[in-house]
Amino acid sequence: MKTNDNDLVTLIAGFYAVAYGQQIGNRDYTTGMLSLFGRLQQGAFPGYLFDPVQFWAQATAQLLGNELAVRNYHHVSFRFAPLSGKGKQLVIRMGATSAPAKPNGTLGVWTEDQAINDRIQSVLEMVSREDTIS
């Protein structure tokens, strides 16, 4: 399946629903999101640790049972520790880029660090042309 911006929106919306505690058909949005963040870590912030178990724990802590956050796609924050063990954690946000949002193209992934954010957007653009998000 070719991916595009709408697929990213679908992936984020599906991941929110699964983290909230809902079952979504046969598609595994958790695996898709973990794959995407693994790609982002490799291409956009390789100096930071990506731990899939910790990532899922952070997501469920913010979304599990939180109907308001899921319904409005409030952004969730993921913290990544530097591989060196020194320095600030990197905070990556995912969700609504404007509030409130519906899954219509206003969902995304970003960070406040402009250089890393530019790399994130570049990786997302590259992934949107490949078969790796599904």
Q: What per-residue confidence (pLDDT) applies to 23?
A: 66
Q: Where are the domains of the chain?
A: 5-127
Whole-number mean pLDDT of the chain?
82
User: DSSP characters for 77-116?
Assistant: EEEE-BTTS-SPPEEEEEEESSSS--TTT-EEEE-S-HHH
> Taking a C-beta distance cutoff of 8 angstroms, is the pair 134, 32 a contact?
yes
The pTM of the full predicted model, rounded to 2 decimals, is: 0.81
pLDDT tens digits for range 5-39: 457 778 888 888 888 777 666 567 888 899 999 99
